[in-house]
Structure 1
C-alpha cells in the first residue's frame, strides 16, 4: 500500500511510518520542517512541506494527524484560533487534495480526541454519548466535520484519541521528571478519569481500521480500562519505584494555566466500544503493565 501521513514527525506519526515501512508499505508525509523530520523518520520516507508538492502522490491510505499542540500554551483567543486553524483548515485542504486525485484513496483516517466529549465525570462514555459543550468539544467536532466531507469519495474513520502512553514523547515526558524525583502526586482531587492508550495499541488500532473495510465513523482510541488520576499517579510512581505524595492543588493550576487547566482537572471515562466490538485485541488493556513497559525503555 501507499500511505500518506500528515503530522508524520509527531509521536504517533513517526511510529506509524516506522511500522508501515517495516511491513513493506510505501510511506510519504506532510510536515512543517522536512529537514528536521527526516532525522527522526526512516530514510525511505518521502516528505513534503506543502500539499502542492504532493500532487503526484496517489496514496491508498491518508492519515491526518497534524495540529498545533493543545497543551503547550494558555488558551487565549488567538491561541484557540490557531488550534482550530491548524486542524480544520489543513483538513479542508487535505480533503480538496484527495478530491482532485485521479484515483481517490480507499480510506481517510483523521485525528480527533476524547476532548470531543468534554467533561463527563465518572460516567461510562462511548461513541454515542452526548458531549458536554465546551471548547475541546467545539474544536474536535469542527475537526471531525471537516474530515467527514470526504465520505462521498472514500471511507472515513475518526480517531478520538486518549492520552498516549509512550516511552519518549507525549504527556509522560512532562510528568516523568517530578515523579522520578519523588515529587509527583495526584492533580486536584485525583478523582477525574484519565482515558489513555499505549502507543503500540494506538498504532495497531490504526492498522486494524485500515485493514477492515467495513469500519467507518468515530472510534474511541483508548484502552478498555480508564483510571482516575490518583490511580494513574500511583501506578506511574510505582513504575519508577517512587512514592506519589505531593498533590498539585487545583486552584494553583487554574491560576497558572487558566481555561487549559480543565484538561487536567476534569476528565472522561472513555471506553473503546466500537473498536472492541470490531474484534480488536489490546496488548495493554491495563495501565500498570503499560507504564512498566514504557519506563523500561
Structure 2
C-alpha cells in the first residue's frame, strides 16, 4: 500500500513508519524534510517519500494524498510543555486545523484514500480519581477534553465521502522516550518517586501495542469507529512508581509535590496530577485485540532492560 503519515517523526510515528516501510510505500508529511530524512535508517529510504507541509494551512501538499491507499494522522503539538495562553492555542490549532486541512485534502482527491486512522487522546474523558471510562463514556469539559472533541469532530467529516475512519484515543505511551524518558533519570540516581498524591490513575500503553493497533486498523477494512488505545490494567501513580523502582532495583521514595509540577507546566500539570482510569473495552471485545503487554511490570521490564 501507499500510506501518507503525519507526525511521522514523533515518538509513535517513527516506530510506525519503521514497521510499515518494510512492506509499504510511505509518504511522510513533515514540516522539515531534511530533519525527517535523518530520522529513518538508510535501508528504508527507498520506500519513503518526503513532502513538506504546514498542517495549519491548505496547500499543494494536499494533492499528494491523491492515489494514497490510506492516511494516518498523528500530528499535534506536545502537551508536556507549559500551557501559556498562546501554547494552548497551538495545542488546539495543531490538531483541529491540521485535521481539517488533512480531511479537506482527502475530500479533494480524485482517487481518494480508503481510510483515515486518526489519533485522539484519553484526555477526551476529562480527569477523575473515581470514575472509570470506556469508549461509550461522554466527553469531559476541561481544556484537553474540548481539544479532543474538536479534533475528533474534524476527523468525522471524512465520512462524508465514505472514507473509513478509525479513531484511537491514546493513553500515556510507554517506550524508549516519551513520559518514561523524564521519569527514569531520577530513579537512576535514587531520587525517584510518585508525582503529586500518587492516588491518581495512570492509563498507559506500551508503544509496541499501540503500533500494532495502528497496523491492525490499517490492514483490516472491517475495523471502524473509536477505540481506547490503553492497556487493560491501568495503575495508580504510586503503583507505577513502585513497579518502575522494582524493575530498576531502585527505591520509590521521593515524591514530586504537585505545586512543583504546576510551577513547571502550569495548567498542563492537571493531566498528570488528576489522571483518569480508562479501559479498552471495544479494543479487546469488538476489535479482538490481545495485548502483548497487558500488565505494567512486563511492559516496564521490556522497556528498561
The answer to whether 1:8 aligns with 2:8 is yes
Q: Does the 8 Å contact 2:134/2:278 carry over to 1?
A: yes
The answer to whether 1:217 aligns with 2:210 is no
Question: Unpaired segments of 5 or more residues in structure 1?
Answer: none
36-45 or 264-273, larger mean C-alpha shift: 36-45
User: What is the root-mean-square deviation in Å for CA atoms of aligned residues?
Assistant: 1.3
Matches of 2:226 and 2:129, distance apart in 1: 21
C-alpha displacement at 1:229, in angstroms? 0.5
Matches of 2:2 and 2:252, distance apart in 1: 46
Q: How does 1:221-260 map to 2 (within 5 A)?
A: 221-260=229-268
Map of 1:43 onto structure 2: 45
| Residue 276 of structure 2, aligned match among 265, 268, 272 | 268
Matches of 2:38 and 2:206, distance apart in 1: 24
Map of 1:150 onto structure 2: 158
Question: Unpaired segments of 5 or more residues in structure 2?
Answer: 54-58
May I ask how many residue pairs the two structures share in their alignment? 293
Q: Deviations over 1:133-180 (max 9, x none)?
A: 10010011000001111012201111100111112x211111111111
C-alpha displacement at 1:56, in angstroms? 4.1
Matches of 2:36 and 2:62, distance apart in 1: 16
Matches of 2:143 and 2:62, distance apart in 1: 33
Matches of 2:184 and 2:209, distance apart in 1: 21
Q: Does the 8 Å contact 2:134/2:280 carry over to 1?
A: yes
Map of 1:290 onto structure 2: 299
C-alpha displacement at 1:199, in angstroms? 0.7
The answer to whether 1:125 aligns with 2:133 is yes
Q: Deviations over 1:76-100 (max 9, x none)?
A: 2111111111111111110111111
Q: Which one has a larger percent helix, Structure 1 or Structure 2?
A: 2
Matches of 1:253 and 1:71, distance apart in 2: 11
Map of 2:173 onto structure 1: 164
Q: Does the 8 Å contact 1:8/1:30 carry over to 2?
A: yes
Q: Deviations over 1:60-80 (max 9, x none)?
A: 1100011111112x2121111
| Residue 191 of structure 1, aligned match among 188, 199, 203 | 199
C-alpha displacement at 1:246, in angstroms? 0.1
Q: Does the 8 Å contact 2:3/2:70 carry over to 1?
A: yes
Q: Deviations over 1:2-52 (max 9, x none)?
A: 111001101111111111122x11111111111111111232311111252
Q: How does 1:27-176 map to 2 (within 5 A)?
A: 27-41=26-40, 42-44=44-46, 45-50=48-53, 52-53=60-61, 55-57=63-65, 58-72=67-81, 74-153=82-161, 154-167=163-176, 169-176=177-184
TM-score (norm 2): 0.93
Q: Deviations over 1:188-211 (max 9, x none)?
A: 110101110001100111112122
